[in-house]
């Protein structure tokens, strides 16, 4: 579990092992397990790999697990041969986002390293930009997460992604943590690497990505990760889809008014095809999970207001959210917060739209038809602006920013 990684880091080893540990989680793919049991290098030929696999994991007609392992293994090697790639594992995999990495740490899907490394640190941005490991320099492409290793110390831990899409955990350690001088000698430790998609069996890969079905996967691929707001938007789309299936609303003759700019918008755009560009999605950012679905062919509409949700974790969730926003969270607190988010997502996905929203019928509102864009020139800044977004004031055609500048105390809040 994640506690294993946390305990290992917090030991603050005075003496770092001279060689890298080859211990891997039992949840790693069968190919890596075979290489370990035979004390063979991971990069071996396709033919030899399959021989080792069949030798160590003999097939049984009653063992679906072994048959699935061989099938997955064969498909991976087949694709490598067809693409003309060298033997061994693929060199590029899908980007692992922060949420997937934290879930993997929680499930102990890690390769422990725990070695001192040399790090290039950018003092202006206060973050590492690269590290040396296994005789080569690994530049850091993205900082996925920052955290504290000790409560009363500044941020000194980083979850980072390298250009080859590998995710590592780096943290700094002072030689003497009891002294607090402005400049104190210390060292950097490369704690572990998160196992990537190619090293996990399909079952554990789905747990990492939290994908319940292909529809959800399509939305997550577009948005980048799954979160409670994305699940809320998906539930609104489920309500709309039920109306489409019943024939109450034609699949193209509708418009939506959304009262927030959260991740829910991405679910609506992907699953329903309503976007700001095709003028079927109107957005007024009131910060509410309220959604109104209008039928353009009839005089009917439905307004969905999200009911108050009580998850039972508010006393823990809210302080953790603030600590993470202020960069004051410890490593285990960051992992714990991700688990709370995942629990909330599962709770929302388990609800029906009627359980999540209060639904009421409303009068239909006919939006403006999609038309060719007409631009006018602002009399103040001289920039082109859509005619529908101009303001006539003082016998001049003005854009909204210029109108606000010329009219003190005026704040124009319009539809995006």
Task: Enter the pTM of the model.
Answer: 0.69
Percent of the chain at pLDDT exceeding 70: 69
Q: Is the pLDDT of residue 41 over 50?
A: no
Segment 58-63 shows an average pLDDT of: 39
Whether 217 is in a domain gets the answer: yes
Q: Distance (Å, rounded) from C-alpha 415 to C-alpha 409? A: 20
Whether 192 is in a domain gets the answer: yes
Residues 134 and 105 in one domain: yes
369 burial level (CB within 10 Å; 0-12, 13-18, 19+) = exposed
Residues 290 and 236 in one domain: yes
Here the CATH number for the domain that contains residue 351 is 3.30.1330.130
Residues 180 and 305 in one domain: no
Domain containing 194 equals: 98-199
Q: Distance (Å, rounded) from C-alpha 236 to C-alpha 356? A: 9
Pairing of strands 167-174, 157-161: antiparallel
- What is the number of domains present in the chain? 4
Residues 356 and 219 in one domain: yes
Q: Distance (Å, rounded) from C-alpha 6 to C-alpha 106? A: 10
How would DSSP label each residue in 281-344?
A: EEE---S--EEEEEESSSS-EEEEEEPP---S-HHHHHHHHHHHHTT--BHHHHHHHHHHHHHH
Segment 118-130 shows an average pLDDT of: 92
pLDDT, residue 369, reads 57
Task: Note the pLDDT tens digit of each residue in 136-193.
Answer: 999 999 999 999 988 878 888 999 999 988 999 999 988 776 655 556 788 999 999 9
Among residues 198, 177, 195, the alpha carbon closest in space to that of 186 is found at 177
Q: Cβ distance 305 to 357 under 8 Å?
A: yes
Residues 348 and 310 in one domain: yes
Residues 290 and 341 in one domain: yes
Residues 288 and 216 in one domain: yes
Residues 123 and 154 in one domain: yes
Residues 233 and 175 in one domain: no
CB within 8 A of 301, min separation 6: which ones? 292, 293, 294, 295, 361, 362, 363, 364, 365
Residues 246 and 310 in one domain: yes
Residues 320 and 258 in one domain: yes
Q: Distance (Å, rounded) from C-alpha 11 to C-alpha 403? A: 61
pLDDT, residue 212, reads 62
Residues 292 and 227 in one domain: yes
Whether 1 is in a domain gets the answer: no
Whether 91 is in a domain gets the answer: no
């Amino acid at each position: 579990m994640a506690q294993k990684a946390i305990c290992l880091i917090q030991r603050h080893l005075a003496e770092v092992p001279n060689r890298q540990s080859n211990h891997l989680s039992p949840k790693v793919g069968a190919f890596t397990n075979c290489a370990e049991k035979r004390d063979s290098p991971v990069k071996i030929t396709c033919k030899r790999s399959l021989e080792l696999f069949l030798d160590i994991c003999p097939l049984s007609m009653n063992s679906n697990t072994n048959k699935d392992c061989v099938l997955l293994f064969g498909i991976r090697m087949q694709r490598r041969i067809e693409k003309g790639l060298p033997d061994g594992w693929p060199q590029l995999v899908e980007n692992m986002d922060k949420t997937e990495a934290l879930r993997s740490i929680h499930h102990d899907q890690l390769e422990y390293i725990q070695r001192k490394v040399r790090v290039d640190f950018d003092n202006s941005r206060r973050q590492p930009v690269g590290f040396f490991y296994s005789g080569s320099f690994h530049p850091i492409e993205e900082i996925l997460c920052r955290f504290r290793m000790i409560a009363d110390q500044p941020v000194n831990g980083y979850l980072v992604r390298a250009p080859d899409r590998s995710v590592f955990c780096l943290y700094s350690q002072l030689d003497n943590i009891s002294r607090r001088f402005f400049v104190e000698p210390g060292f950097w430790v490369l704690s572990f690497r998160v196992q990537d998609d190619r090293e996990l069996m399909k079952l554990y890969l789905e747990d990492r990505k939290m994908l319940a079905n292909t529809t959800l996967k399509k939305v997550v691929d577009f948005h980048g990760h799954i979160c409670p707001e994305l699940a809320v938007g998906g539930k609104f789309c489920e309500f709309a889809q039920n109306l489409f299936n019943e024939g109450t609303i034609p699949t193209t003759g509708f418009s939506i008014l959304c009262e927030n700019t959260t991740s829910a918008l991405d679910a609506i755009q992907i699953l329903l095809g309503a976007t700001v560009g095709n003028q079927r999605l109107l957005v007024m950012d009131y910060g509410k999970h309220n959604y109104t679905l209008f039928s353009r062919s009839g005089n009917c509409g439905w307004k969905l207001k999200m009911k108050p949700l009580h998850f039972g974790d508010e006393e823990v969730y809210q302080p953790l959210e603030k600590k993470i926003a202020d960069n004051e969270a410890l490593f285990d607190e960051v992992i714990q917060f991700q688990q709370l988010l995942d629990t909330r997502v599962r709770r929302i996905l388990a609800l029906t739209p009627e359980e999540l929203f209060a639904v009421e019928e409303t009068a239909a509102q006919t939006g403006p038809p999609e038309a060719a864009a007409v631009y006018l020139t602002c009399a103040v800044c001289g920039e082109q602006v859509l005619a529908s977004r101009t303001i006539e004031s003082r016998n001049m055609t003005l854009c909204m920013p210029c109108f606000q500048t010329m009219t003190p105390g005026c704040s124009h809040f319009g539809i995006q």
